[in-house]
Every structure is written in structure tokens, then in C-alpha cells.
Structure 1
């Protein structure tokens, strides 16, 4: 079935009216319902056309976006395109955020859909070369979802949908560049909806499509417009084999007036699926695909039913999410549309099984007609005042400004328009633009009327342009009243006007005095400070005595507290530097009993921002494991914060792999080190309460004692998070080459972030190569390994220092394990417990190692092709796996049809 797209128009009303005229002119040939906008992104032909399958009218996106470049997919993929929209696209190689602007009615509900058909348009083979290929989407000023095309067939199409309420007279759909592939878009559709539909939507909650399926015997894989008046995409569940039974009726299914909150097509409700009467329940297993961050989802399932069998017994059943009751027992009236959902019951899991289970009083098993599942999108960033946006767009158009002003001018703050400052003081109001800096911007002519209309404007900088027109009296009155600061120096208009906003000569001495006096004072103050420090050092001959800054209240923990004076003593006045990092310098030290220690002293900037230091010390004092560097003590001084660790005499793993210490490591030593490090991370993830995410797993943070026992260091820089929460949102402490690509999309760190980094470490152990290197161009180690193996064999990636002294089968196991850890979607990565189990199998047999039997789930070869987020399975009377069963452990069934489209 065809996938159609539409890209939306701009913010100005004058852009929208020609579009309505244009669409109306095409009604003779095609039909687009009121409130439908369908845009073929990248279409260079300005004429419209009608889609062959839906007869909907498609237009070019040229009037709805100001940036990007139009492309056709490569010619060899043209024949495989199922519609005209898949043949063209718009690519955005420049800028972090590029936006389409859709005209809307404030408070109106809309379905917005985007599709992405890569077709190797740029010749870079970006979807198949193994490198991360992902970018993000914003709905308005809020993050909507991620588009992940990594390891994707270039002929496939991904689609994304969101249900949202327009905050104003336009909605922005923005593509975000994460630095992992160039964002592009093939189509953009906008469909208006009735006010009563999807009642859980509001100004602070939108809903992103997760999956939508219909049951019964269906001829088309995708059902959409005109069957569905809203043009939703319904995938066919295709449950055609035992024990599934499909029901059909020609009689009309009716809906209760005033209770049609989801407007499921009645033609779809004339079909349903049930199971053989000796079964008591049916299961629907849902899981996040590669295009979802499964660990941050809030899923809202909606189930649709119509009883098609007129029997003497009642069909009564309940709905569970795993073992949690979601919908209490209910019965289905004959031929009446029924939709069930709980707006107060969200599923906070990346994978769950919905069970439709008949009650004891029911004589027949449950049935289902269709279901929808949405992921909630929280609307937290308010859009800028629409009048301010209109004024700025008018100014941009009038002066022909070439600026990447895309999306909302004020939100989110990291994407705000350059040259503007917004006021976010009142969270209940839309941000207002209070400062405009267009100095040296090539402005010519007079002051545009929009400048006068911006009531919120407080500062207006137009210096060094070619403005020669008059200044409106309304602006002059605001300047005189002190409500507006105006700067016009360097413009021809100032040759006619003598006032302070033109740098009036009479005010120059005052300005010079106001500027020069403070500067001279500061310079003198700095000079005095330098002379004082020089004289003080000359007299004392020693550094400042930090001993007077000791904190009086100690922590009540079972590790030693060092004073600053003691640190100076054991480090010999901080003479021997053994390492440096972003948080400070590490010194070698010797305690009174001759034990060697490493003293990490935080830099002053870290001290100023070290609110987490004392809680971290308290946490670390309770963390003890043979594969974690032990914390010996701490220093709590207002001028010096420090952590004292056991000293690791063999350095770090990076040094050993690069030949920095002793001789090269043999294969067994490398495996032992990998296992040690994995066990340390497993302890942090599984045995600590709450769990601890390291955040910066890398070879320099894996230290070796004298017996080459590996110990994880720098986990003190981690942040503990409560097990009740599914993720933490914070700044990553990650390092280039090790950081989880999913973090770029979601900015959320989880235990699976450490697993990804450990996958890179495993490849370093095998290859001896750094995580990022030149070959001859910059390349990420996982991609280098994939390319080497694709062109030759696994032996081509092994570190030459091993001299072929390794077990080939174990080598394959370790590389497979590393690649599992490096899956783009965190849900597909193993846990550290599973990693430990696999590594134990690769080492010489022992009592402990022989007990390691579990292995991480190896991704099925078909996973990358599965076009659905949902896989259905039957259970209840037998352990046999049927068509459509989950790929998860215990089920061996497969998906019966592979399609070119995907909602993942």
C-alpha cells in the first residue's frame, strides 16, 4: 500500500491563502478533504499531482520550508518505489535544526505524519555502512521522536506519526542534526481531527504513534484513507493459522452517539480475530524497535472491539499488561463498536504482553478488532508569542535576511534564534522577544513597521547598517520614557539625527568616562593583586596554607578522612603527577604504613560545582568489589576536595594495549581483564541499591594491579539513580568513540549506556586499536571491524601482537558479544550479567566458569527487516509457538510477511 506525505506551509496567512486556492483548483482531478495537507518534500515541480492509490492531492514543499536541498533517490531504486512521494526528498546538511511550518488553528487537534525513504540519494550508502545514521524530530519546541536508519535497507520507508494540539496559528515540525548522518524527509502529512477525538490529548500531552493494527482477514497490508477518514495507517495483523479464527459480517456495526472518541472505521469493525474455543486467552506482545528509546516510554494502549457472533453465551474478558490488570471484566454488545482504554494507566516498559483473558463465567474466548498504542510526548517548552514570531518573519522578509531562523524563536533555549533574547520569567505565559540584535546585518531602507508593533521589545540594536528612513514617533516615545534602548550608530539616518541612540557627540565624554574609568580601576586592582601575591610569596616562600579551610563537620562513614596537610605530606607536596582528567589531577602518594595510593584532587571549577561530592563519597564508601578500585579516604576542605584510592602499579588498560607498560598482553590475559571489568560493571548495575551508571567506561578507566587484575576506576564521577525511575537525564561524562549513539537522540543515560561503551572496550582488547583512528580517514572502531570482517574474516581484526595465539571459536564469541553490546537500540543490548556469563565460557574451565550457561540474546537475522514494533503470539493451552510469535527466548515462530514500510 502506498505511503503518502505532506510538508506544511509557513507562518504567514498570505502563504496559506494561495495554498487553499491551489488545492481548490485541483479538485477536478483529485480530492483532499477539508483540513488535509499533503506535501511531497523535495518535489521540484511546482505543479500538484494526485496520489494513485488515495487520490489525495500532493503539493511541493517549496513554500513551507526555507532551508535544505531537493534530491531524487538513485535511479536503481526508482522501480522499487511504491509511490511518487518516495522518489523525492529534502536533505538538510546545514544547521542543527531545520523546520517546516504548518498553518493551524489554535486549540485544534491534528495528526501529523512524516516518512523517510533514503534511496541512497547522496551515494554515501549511509544506511548500510554500519555507521550510526540517526536524527531527531521536534513537534513545535518539544522533542517528539528519533529516526534511526542505521543498518536499514535503502529501499525501505520509515514513518512517524504524532497526535497533537496546535498551540497557536502554526505548528513547526523540525529535524534535528545529532552529527550522526544528514537529516532528510520524504513527505509530511497534516490531518485535522474533531475536537472530541482522542480525549487524552491536551496542551501538555501529545501522543506519538507506537503501533496500530487491525484484525480479521484483510487483503491490504496497510489500511488508510479513504477507509479511515483520518488517514491513519492500520497494519494488518495477519493472524491466519491455527489457533486463530477470523470473523466477518456484512451487517452494519453501529457506534453509540456521543461515544465515538476514536472514530474507528466501521468497515474495519466488521472483521475481527478470535481463537479456538479450547483456548482461554490471547496475547499481544509489544516492544520498542530500533527507532524508539524504550527506556523512557509511557505507553497508552487503546483496544477496539465489535461482537460479530450472535450466540447464546456472553463473551466476557479482562485485559492485563503482564500480570497487572489494565481493564476490568467487560462484555461486548452485539454489533456495537466498543473502545477500551485507561487514561490513568500507562505502561512504563519497553516490552510488555497484553493478555485478553476470558472470565470464568464466559463461555467463549476473547476477540479483538483492532488496537492502537501511543507513546506520550510531554509538552514542556512553551512556544513563543505568535505575534512576535509574525513580526520577526516580516522583518526577515522585508530586509531579505539570510539567517537560519527555523522553528520557534525562543524554545527550546538551545535552538533559539541567533540575535534574539527571550523572556522566560513567567512560565504560564508564552516567551516574549525582549531583545533584537541586527547590528552589521546589511539592513537597507527605513525601520519596518513590525519593529514598532513589538510591545515586549526592550533592547533594539541596529548599529552599522544602511538605514536612512524616519524613526516612528511611537518608538521615540518609548525611548524617551526609558522603555526601549535603541542603538542606531553607524547608519545614514544618524547624519540627520543627533541623539544618544545615534551616539551624540555631546554624550561621548560621558560614555568614555563610563567605560574607561571602570576598566582602569579593574586594571589597577589586578596589578595590585599581582604585586601582592609576588611580595607575599617572596616573604613566605610557601603556598597558601589551606589547613585553615578544613570543614568542621566530618562525614559519618567508615573510611578515613584526610586533612589537606596530610595530603601534602603523603604526596610529597604534590610532586608526582600520575594522571590528569577533566575533574582534576591525580598524584602518587605513600601512606604511613608504606601503602601506595592515588590522590585525585578536584580542580577549582569542579569544587565550585561539586554539590554531588559528599553524597558520592557516602555512596562510594559502601561500594566494595574486587574489580572496583577501592576508595581509601577523602579530603573535605573548602579549598581542596580530594579522593584517595588504592594505587594500581600496572597502569591502565589503554597503556598496556598500546605497549606503554611491560610486554604485550596474551589472549588469556586479555579475556581475564575483560571479565574483571565486566564483573565490576555488573556489580555497579545489579548489586548496588540504587544502581550506579558509570557514564565513562573506557580503557583508561580500567586499571591493573600488580597481578593484572582489572579494576574499574572513576565510577565516583557517576550519578546514582533510583530504581523506580527508568532513566536519568544529565550531561554525559562520556568520551569520543565510547558514547552511546542513543544518547545523542534522547540525552538519557542508562545502564545500557555502559554496555555500549564496554562493547567498544571489548573490540579494543581484541584489535589493539583505539576507539577512533585514521584509516586513512577518521573511522569508528566498530565500523572498522565490520568492514574488515565483511571483506575478509574475523582473523583480519585481531591484534598482530597476539601472533595468532588465540582460540578462534572464542574469538568469534567475543566479537559477537561486542557487536551485541553495540546495538543502536539499548533494548537489543545484553545486560552486564549476560556479558559476564559469555566471557566466563571463553576462559579455561573452572568450577565457577563452568556454571556460566546463559548468554545474551543474539539478534535474529530477520530483526532488521521486521516492519513492526508489535509481534503477536498465542498462549494458554500449549507451549507450541505459532506464526507471528515473538522472537524472544522460548518462541521460534517468525513473521509471515515482510513489508517495505515500518512504523518503528
Structure 2
């Protein structure tokens, strides 16, 4: 029994050693070429190729001089440069010590990509999507960068991982081949920087196959594992022109067999869909001794991998009437194909009853009882199945963003699919719709030097939530298509050169801060533009206005000082008096519209029967309105640390703010000492209760990140959706409430502060420190400097609690703060030591890393180093997308396992964990 062993990596190495050892100077190991016109080569949009060497093929020698091409003497294929297929990268030559006479010309140079995380070749084959393509990528390091450091990087086909490129030494030639049913007209081959060296490539080739051959679904690609020319008499590799598809057939003779051959052509009358080369098919092997069996093995090394064998047969002997060659094929002891009788000088391809698995693939060809001759084998191919479950970006979004890319000339680093593989294009954020197409949700082209008008294609990004075109030189009027984007939450067009009148329909979103147009001097926001008048001497009125303002400010300062002294000696007002004063001074707060009497409060709470919460302010009771609506009733205790001013603040804010992640206001009660707020009932209590170690059930990782996203959305609205912005000042787990669907909402606005700036340079408020220890921003605590990023710090602590399941101040020796505790584990790079052990490892490791990094980014001592809540929200959404995709892959794997009804596949939970360096 013979054995064919070795991994795919060592297989590539073996090929290289075989070629050099036999001295095959003509070995066409990595020949690549392309037949295109000079006009097509210069097309920056990589125009769709009409090629004539091998029908519909694209062949690229990566890294040769721009606009150059040449014909290979051995294959008569034409090489061309890759500048028409990619905009990024640098051309490099390999080191002179690796330039030998036998080395293929196409391996003398590479295209290297030292910048960016992802670099993609855009291939536009004439047949477009729905076609089976054979793609081959070749790599030889050759110390091109003079670093003597073997790189390792990712290889992607479209939005799905193809393989990882690794090298055994600098002269090691790595070949990756794949058969793929394209789902888009353009085919993207991408190199991904994984942090282990600069990606590069030597050659890239594409062919199309007959749709009837090498069948696979759109969700499965086939990676070449072995391709053998069995019984070869020349010992040479066979490829184009002998093989119409330019497959590489490597010579191999099976152990315990003898070769047979014929000089006759195979398939001269009827070519099959596999287009097998006659040179390969007119040689074969049969059992060596009078044995009736051909037996050989392939060592796969992994029982969970799925393989598709394709065995090729042709009868080479003209059989007599009393002769018959018929045999069965078994793989791993299971009948794979029965009673095969190859035809004379005609090829037959058998791909059996389906995929096979096993650490070893044991092939056994045995003659049937009616056969007089032993089995025969001419050639074989074995492919490894690769699930391609990720879907490309929604085609409407792709068309729109490509037009935007061309309009603003952003093509250099915007290559491949806009959203996948992660990270998305610079300036983009995308939704994760599981195995459905992704959609673009954020477009940030701030400070990119953009000119011209705001392109209409932006209006075709129907899932867009955030748009930032600030600080460019964009001209024209305010585009009305912004009003037709259903999901748009915020748009920043400030700092441009927009002009004209702003349509009245925009006034609402400009007023609430959703649309920012500051810094467009020729844009008329408050009314129609007036014709320019003659210049006047404005010095006198300006000086008069300044003097008047100064006088008014001095008077106001004196009055404020006087009233402050009076308040210090005045008895404390009742809540009713405060409310009356507040109403008289502000027309925006109309409390009487939602006033409940104390008797009504008693009735809806059934005389305060059910307590659902307690705090420094007093007690929260369950209530039931006459229409059956459940409510929470917060009654202020006379001894409460939250006074009537805070009560009024909370009522006013609750009436003013409306967001799905903020608790909604129902009514209030204000009768003498009976002060209360009625707001929506949150059936699942507060977040602190769910994180408590006393609770038997625990939140899943997905639930935790979803809660974090919900809370972040509420804070982000307070900071950026309200005008003036609102700083909560008391963000903590007990102030994050959960409804019956586990949707999180921020509550308790009694300490909140409106951040009304007096001038553009003001970045903080000086105010009395309030809040909860453990969550307090150190800068706010020490310096009384309150900013929106004080809330960011508190939210970072909450996020760490969600991740770890531990309180802000941990009850252990020394009572360490949770930030210190997490930092200790980060120093060791121990992510699993950080995440709540109650989860038992049921989470995606990359999602966990991103969550921890986002939390730690929120808690530097210097507030200037913290992100905004908008940025935090984007990071958390990506974190959630990673986890959702992970869970859907698990679910899909389960479906695939069930549908295939075969051996258990490798669980995704055992995926390789690529961890960031310890922070």
C-alpha cells in the first residue's frame, strides 16, 4: 500500500524542490499573462477584458513596469503589468541571490502593499457573474524587501477568506488555486495585512470553466489539494497549450503499480466538459503484479475537512471480445462508485456520490467479478471544500459608492468590496445583515480635500445613518435628497462652500442638530438670500454693540451676585414654588399639561403597594393607569439628597427628550411635600441586577453588547441629538433600565446638565461635582471640569462591568477599581481572564477584544484622549456585528452538518484566535 502524504504547504514546497532537482528549465510553474489592448491597459476603471489567449482569461504578472507586456516562450501566453487592475502597491524586484537561470521570469518581481490593511485586484472577466472561474495566485518572497523576514498574510476572494499565505524559506514558491462560482460581475482578489508582514503577490491568473464541470454551489468554493498526471512517461508538468484551461498536472506514479500508455490521442471525437489534455490521459497505471487492486492514500491531517475527488479514466488498450475491464471504487471503505468500465480512447470523469472526509483518504479500485482485467487510473484531482458564506455588499450600495469614488477620485485605497473583509473602506461603516448583503451606514469623507458638488449618488445609500462631508471645498446648494434618506440620523456639512437658500423643510433637522451647516458663509439658513448691498462703514455700530453688550453683562453680573446672596439667606422653597418660578421664567416647560393629583397617584399605585426600586431620591412604585398601561412612580423622599430643583430638572428633560433608548415621561405629581414623577415601566429592572453574582441566570454576550449599544445610543442622542447638548452626569448600571424585551434605556436625569456654551472656544463647564463614586470622571472630580466626555468615562466603566460581570469597585483585597483590574489582565494579553466566567467561553474572541479596547479607550485620565459617544457607538455596533455574524456562522454550520448528514464538522468555537498585542 502506497501513501501520498504532506500538508498543502509542504505540497507546494515539494513541487518547487521537484522542479529544481530535475532541472526543468522549461517548467511553467507560475506563467501568467494577459491579452489586452493598449487602450484597455490604460483604463483606470479596469475595463472589462475581451481576451483571446484562453477564452475569457486574465493573466497578470504582478510588479513589472507599467504598460509593459511580453509573450512567454514556453506557453505562448502573454504577460502584462497589473497597473490596470489595482491602484495601490509598489513594484519590487527579488534579491539578486534568488535570480537563477531556471527561475521563471514572472517570479523575478512582485507587487508589494506596505500601506493599508487591504489591497484588492479588480478582475472583470467578460462573462461576469454566474460563471465557474479557476483562479491561481502565486507567491515567491525572494527577500524582495531586503528584510530577510518571511511574511504571513491573508488571501481573500471577494468578501470570503481564501487561505493564509505562509513560507518555509525565501525561495519557497506558494501556489493557491481555487474554483469559484462568481456572484458578482467583478471578481476581487484581496491581500490582507494581518500584522505579520507586508503582503505581496507574484502572479495572478483567471480562467473560466464549463459550467457543467467541477460543480459546486455559490456558497462553496473548491481549493486545489492535489492534481496528478498518473503514469507520466516524461516526468514533466503539463499545462497550456496541452491543457486548454492551463491547469498544472504534476507527474506521479502510484506505488505498487506499473505504467501503461498509448500514442493515440484521447477524446479526438468528443471532448468532455472537463477538457482533459490528451497528454495526461494517454498514460495510466495498472496494478504491478497480477494483483486485482489499486490502493493508495492521501494524508489530509484533519478529519473535519471536506474533500471532492475527481478521478479521470480512459481505456488505453483495444480490448478483445473476451476481455472486460470493470471495477468498483471505494474511499475509506465505503463504496463511492460501482461497476465503472472506461471507454476506449475516451475520457470519463467520476466525482462519485459526494464529498469525503478523514485524516487519511484511502482509495481502493477493485475489479468486479465479471472483469477479466485489473483496474486502471489515468489522472486525478482532489479539491478541498471551502464554505463561502459571507455575502458581498448590496449591489445598489456598490454602484452608488463606486460613482462617489470616481467623482471625488478616491480610488487609490478604495479597492475591492466596500464592506468586507473587515475593516471596511476608510471612512465607511457597514451594517451586518448576517448572510444577507451588507449595507453602508456611515460615510465619513471629512477633510479629504473634496471639490465640486455633493454627488447625487449619496442619496442612493438608503441605509445611510451618518454622513460627514465637513471641512472640504464642496460647492452648490444643499441637496434635498438628504430628506429622502429614511435612516439618516446626522449629517455634517459644515466648513464647505455651499451657497443659496436652505429649503424650509431642512429647518427642523438643522434646529435639532441632526444637520450641521455651520461655516458655509454663502449659505442662507434663516431665510432667502438677499442681494449684496453696497459696503457701509460698520465700525460705529459694531463698537456700539460691543459697548452695550459689556454694560449689560456687568449689570447682569451684579444682579446675579445680589440674588445669590439673597438665596443663601432665604428659606428653601417648596417644590410648588420652584415649579411656579420655573414656569414663569420659561415658556418651554408646561408641567400642568401632565399633572396628576396625589389622590390619583395613590389610586394608580394601589396605595404604594408594590415597591420596585429604592435610591437616594426615595422609592419607586409600580403603577397601573386606567387604560391598563403599567408605569413606574418615583416619589421624592423628604430626606432625599435629590432636591426639588433636581426634580424639576428631571421633569423638564424627560418632557424635552424623546428617544427609544431614554425612559419616556408620562406625568408628574407636585402637591406640597408629595413630589413624584410617573414614567414608563421597565419590566426587567436595572442592569446592575442582571450583572449581580447573586443572579442565577446570566446575560449572554450578545445581550450584553446589545445593551451597551442601546445605552450608547441614548447617550449619543443626549450629546449630539439635543440642542444644547445634555450631560447626564450619573451614568451607571443602576440608571440603565431594561424593558420586557431587554431593550436598554437610560434613566434618572435629576443630575443632568445642559451644556450651553457661550462661545466656540468653551469646551467645558465649571460646576459642582455630583455623581457616583466609581463612575466619576477623575478630571471632573479633581478640577470641576464637566464635559460630554465625563459621561464617556462613566460609560466606559459600565461597559467594563458588562464585559467582566464585576462591579465598578471590586470587593477583594485592596478594593481595586475595575479599570485597574482589567489593566492587569490586558498586560498579559489574557482576554478570557477578563470576560465574565459565567459565559463559559460562549462568545466570539474578536468581538470581546473589540469591546474591551472600546471600554479602555473611554477611561483615560485626560478627557481629551477619550472618544466621543458617536465614535463609541460605531465601535460597539461593529462589535455586535462581529458577534452576530459569528452566531449565524455557527447556526449555518449546524444546518450544513445536518444537510450533509456526514461526519461532524469542525466547530467554529475552536477557530484560531488572533489576539491583539497586550495594551
Give the Cα–Cα distance (whole angstroms) in 2 for the partners of residues 87 and 341 of structure 1. Answer: 38
Aligned with residue 106 of structure 1, among 126, 129, 133: 129
Change (3 A) 1:224 1:735: closer
Deviations 1:306-355 (A, max 9, x none): 1112343322222222323322332223333111113x532223432322
In the alignment, which residue of structure 2 is the partner of 1:379?
388
SS at the partner of 2:99? helix
In the alignment, which residue of structure 1 is the partner of 2:28?
2
SS at the partner of 1:368? coil
Give the Cα–Cα distance (whole angstroms) in 2 for the partners of residues 365 and 493 of structure 1. Answer: 83
Deviations 1:89-134 (A, max 9, x none): 111223332111111301111111011122221222234xxxxx42
Question: What TM-score results when the alignment is normalised by the length of structure 1?
Answer: 0.54
Kept in 1, the 8 Å contact 2:32–2:78? The answer is no
Change (3 A) 1:202 1:534: closer
2:284 matches 1:264: no
Kept in 2, the 8 Å contact 1:446–1:467? The answer is yes
Give the Cα–Cα distance (whole angstroms) in 2 for the partners of residues 725 and 317 of structure 1. Answer: 31
Change (3 A) 1:364 1:462: same
Kept in 2, the 8 Å contact 1:112–1:163? The answer is yes
In the alignment, which residue of structure 1 is the partner of 2:308?
300
Q: How does 1:77-88 map to 2 (within 5 A)?
A: 77-88=98-109
2:523 matches 1:491: no
Aligned with residue 244 of structure 1, among 248, 252, 257: 257
SS at the partner of 1:3? coil
2:913 matches 1:729: no
Give the Cα–Cα distance (whole angstroms) in 2 for the partners of residues 110 and 314 of structure 1. Answer: 38
Q: How does 1:31-50 map to 2 (within 5 A)?
A: 32-50=53-71
2:214 matches 1:193: no
Give the Cα–Cα distance (whole angstroms) in 2 for the partners of residues 513 and 345 of structure 1. Answer: 57
Aligned with residue 514 of structure 1, among 709, 716, 722: 722
Give the Cα–Cα distance (whole angstroms) in 1 for the partners of residues 324 and 375 of structure 2. Answer: 10
Give the Cα–Cα distance (whole angstroms) in 1 for the partners of residues 478 and 434 of structure 2. Answer: 31
Aligned with residue 329 of structure 2, among 319, 336, 339: 319
Aligned with residue 347 of structure 1, among 348, 356, 373: 356
Question: What TM-score results when the alignment is normalised by the length of structure 2?
Answer: 0.53
Change (3 A) 1:471 1:733: closer
Aligned with residue 840 of structure 2, among 590, 596, 612: 612
2:386 matches 1:178: no
Aligned with residue 205 of structure 1, among 220, 238, 244: 220
Give the Cα–Cα distance (whole angstroms) in 1 for the partners of residues 913 and 489 of structure 2. Answer: 43
CA shift for structure 1 position 184: 1.3
In the alignment, which residue of structure 2 is the partner of 1:762?
none
Aligned with residue 458 of structure 2, among 425, 429, 451: 451
Give the Cα–Cα distance (whole angstroms) in 1 for the partners of residues 324 and 88 of structure 2. Answer: 59
The aligned length equals 556
2:221 matches 1:221: no
SS at the partner of 2:336? strand
2:484 matches 1:478: yes
Q: How does 1:701-780 map to 2 (within 5 A)?
A: 724-729=904-909
Larger radius of gyration between Structure 1 and Structure 2 = 2
2:83 matches 1:68: no
Give the Cα–Cα distance (whole angstroms) in 1 for the partners of residues 487 and 184 of structure 2. Answer: 32
Aligned with residue 397 of structure 1, among 401, 406, 409: 406
Give the Cα–Cα distance (whole angstroms) in 2 for the partners of residues 572 and 110 of structure 1. Answer: 61
Give the Cα–Cα distance (whole angstroms) in 2 for the partners of residues 120 and 183 of structure 1. Answer: 13
Give the Cα–Cα distance (whole angstroms) in 2 for the partners of residues 433 and 53 of structure 1. Answer: 47
Give the Cα–Cα distance (whole angstroms) in 2 for the partners of residues 190 and 125 of structure 1. Answer: 31
Change (3 A) 1:530 1:251: same
Aligned with residue 234 of structure 1, among 249, 252, 275: 249
If asked which structure has higher relative contact order (CA below 8 Å, sep 6+), I would say 1
Change (3 A) 1:271 1:487: same
Deviations 1:633-672 (A, max 9, x none): xxxxxxxxxxxxxxxxxxxxxxxxxxxxxxxxxxxxxxxx
CA shift for structure 1 position 247: 1.7
In the alignment, which residue of structure 2 is the partner of 1:336?
346
CA shift for structure 1 position 267: 3.8
Change (3 A) 1:530 1:730: farther
**Structure 1 unaligned blocks of 5 or more:** 128-132, 536-563, 565-570, 587-599, 616-721, 739-904
Q: How does 1:620-639 map to 2 (within 5 A)?
A: none
Deviations 1:657-693 (A, max 9, x none): xxxxxxxxxxxxxxxxxxxxxxxxxxxxxxxxxxxxx
Kept in 2, the 8 Å contact 1:7–1:100? The answer is no
Kept in 2, the 8 Å contact 1:167–1:203? The answer is yes
Q: How does 1:472-871 map to 2 (within 5 A)?
A: 475=481, 478=484, 486-494=491-499, 497=502, 500=510, 501=515, 502-503=517-518, 514-516=722-724, 518-519=726-727, 574=813, 606-607=835-836, 610-612=838-840, 724-729=904-909
Change (3 A) 1:522 1:379: same
CA shift for structure 1 position 440: 2.2
CA shift for structure 1 position 135: 2.0
In the alignment, which residue of structure 1 is the partner of 2:449?
442
Kept in 2, the 8 Å contact 1:275–1:365? The answer is yes
In the alignment, which residue of structure 1 is the partner of 2:176?
160
Give the Cα–Cα distance (whole angstroms) in 2 for the partners of residues 48 and 581 of structure 1. Answer: 60
CA shift for structure 1 position 519: 1.5
- The RMSD of aligned alpha carbons is 4.6
**Structure 2 unaligned blocks of 5 or more:** 1-26, 519-523, 528-587, 589-655, 657-718, 732-748, 754-767, 775-805, 844-901
2:109 matches 1:92: no
Deviations 1:841-881 (A, max 9, x none): xxxxxxxxxxxxxxxxxxxxxxxxxxxxxxxxxxxxxxxxx
